[in-house]
Chains A and B, each alone.
Chain A
């Protein structure tokens, strides 16, 4: 008997037991499709975030209102738990950096106000950001209409606003340049409309309304607490010049925050390289998590295959006896059942790959990021589905092949 002749035999058997084959393959289909979809989506998201971070440029640095990661102040929760929380940075910190540190092209504090926004009486879902005129060059904001506010307009304390793409879409004429919109019940004059900025880190940048920091501060009830200060350096952040500049920023802020020597500061500075490193650590953990979920679902699918193959061996005991009586060797029976389980799992794998790829396209589409099915994920999924078939098929196949011909023939 030649091995390749077993393939038609296995396909034939599965074709004649369609419902059972489909149900058994279902476990594999679910496992493989979730692997392909999740890994592809994860890969696309990682690429997207990485390219976004890279697009910030090597000269950008961020001052964050929390202790440097990896170290915590006594009695403080670990920094990861405090990520994004609002701490100790103030607008005057940002001003001090701009005025005192050389080698800096721009400083943009980010102050967020949660106040209602409406235009012509129509409410709109918006994020209110207060910042400096430097924000536009620092974050590379492109305008489609009008312009960003100037340092002069900032100094004069004018109530001017630059609106995002979605705001114009929602409010139409009510948000065109020159009209007034209401932010926190105060009238602001629209002076510019930003081009599409997309979603960054899960945040939609197109529903932003951007106003001068002082105006935002006056909308707030309590103290102003900055989420972030963006600093655009004259040199790359990881160059000697850039590092020296950032050391100066650190010294200045330590001084302003009266941080005693030898203790940890209550802020931290991170650069593009730091962010990429952090992201890689996070995606690394996510990948392991996904792999574990995928592994468990494949394990469950594989056990399903083994279970059905054992049932199949039992049901076909007489057939096995007969085949042996007609000249099948141990190896022939072993390979027959092994081929069946592998064909079953590869069949499930291929369907899973198709569904998973569609899922990946759907997920990345919903996340509005580029990327489709991951080739690596597809190749790995295919190999894994075949391996599952072998691993979980060997035991039932061995049981089948070990049957004595006469015992098997007598089996009722």
Chain B
């Protein structure tokens, strides 16, 4: 008996392999707060290829975070098509989205969002915990990642015992520990001074050189200039994109 592969399957496999990391088509997000509906993202087309380092800039309120949350599967688009590595995301169940967030996305927040009562090491372990890894497997991976961000010696410190820059590096280690397809960072340097910002940016540049796909939101031009591609948003739309 010969193994037959349908054309449909074949295309899908092909799509998987050389599909872009992210593909957004006509993405819109409408917030319904009370009686007023507000369209924060009003139709965005965006393709991010594997290995891209994209900076999204734009004024405050232009919809950057809204877009980022949809890319990160924290929020669902109201309209539009979203594919990750060629795979349709829009109709995934809640559990499937949790799995995508866990395995394929590394999120870095402006406010670090570390568990205050847990140590740096424990914070980095969290994504692996939800992947079902036992402690004995989590710890070495988390330790290695803390070393990678230069905090190998601070694993037993709680966030309160770390500076802002160090906390953000812990958060980056946490985003990377699960070996995600794409790293998303929403104003990761927004709370940091210039020299801490520089450390974080060097870290992102090193990640880019390793071949990671990175999307970084910022409103600082110096930060944006370090990315390989710049996307500018205004009023819920992309008004400029280097790639085009």
Contacts and interface: CB of A to CB of B under 8 A. Distances in A.
A326 B94 contact: no
A327 B134 contact: no
A345 to B, nearest CB: 22
A165 interface: no
B169 interface: no
A409 B69 CA distance: 11
Interface string B53-90: 00000000000000001001011000000000000000
B94 A330 contact: yes
Contacts of A322: 113, 115
Given A322-B113, A325-B107, A326-B127, 8 more contacts: A9-B129, A319-B115, A323-B126, A327-B101, A327-B127, A328-B98, A330-B94, A409-B74
12 contacts: A5-B129, A5-B134, A8-B135, A324-B74, A325-B101, A328-B98, A328-B130, A329-B95, A404-B75, A405-B74, A405-B75, A409-B113
Nearest to A405: B74
B113 A329 contact: no
B130 A327 contact: yes
B102 to A, nearest CB: 2
B188 to A, nearest CB: 15
B132 A326 contact: no
Interface in B107-153: 107, 109, 113, 115, 117, 126-127, 129-132, 134-135
Contact of A330 (B95, B99, B113, B174): B95
Interface in A322-373: 322-332
Given A326-B127, A327-B102, A2 B74 contact: no
A327 B74 contact: no
A1 B113 contact: no
A406 B40 CA distance: 15
For the residues of A in contact with B, the DSSP-based class is: helix
Given A16-B117, A325-B101, A327-B103, A1 B74 contact: no
Contacts, number: 66
A406 B101 contact: no
Contacts of A332: 130
| Closest CB pairs A-B (n = 3) | A327-B102, A327-B130, A329-B98
A147 B113 CA distance: 89
Contacts of A13: 117
B175 to A, nearest CB: 9
Nearest to A4: B134
A318 interface: yes
B112 to A, nearest CB: 10
B183 to A, nearest CB: 13
Contacts of B109: 409
B95 A327 contact: no
A319 B115 CA distance: 7
B75 A406 contact: yes
A406 B109 CA distance: 12
Most interface-central of B94, B99, B130, B132 (chain A CB within 10 A): B130
A327 B107 contact: no
B174 A326 contact: yes
Residue picked from B75, B98, B134, most chain A C-beta under 10 Å = B98
A324 B75 CA distance: 11
A1 B117 contact: no
Contacts of B174: 326
Contact of A323 (B75, B130, B131): B130
Q: Which of A1, A325, A330 has the most CB of B within 10 A?
A: A325
Interface string B181-212: 00000000000000000000000000000000
Contact of B74 (A329, A331, A406): A406
Nearest to A13: B117
A322 B174 CA distance: 12
Interface in A242-257: none
Contacts of A330: 94-95, 98
Contacts of A5: 129, 132, 134-135
A307 B129 CA distance: 28
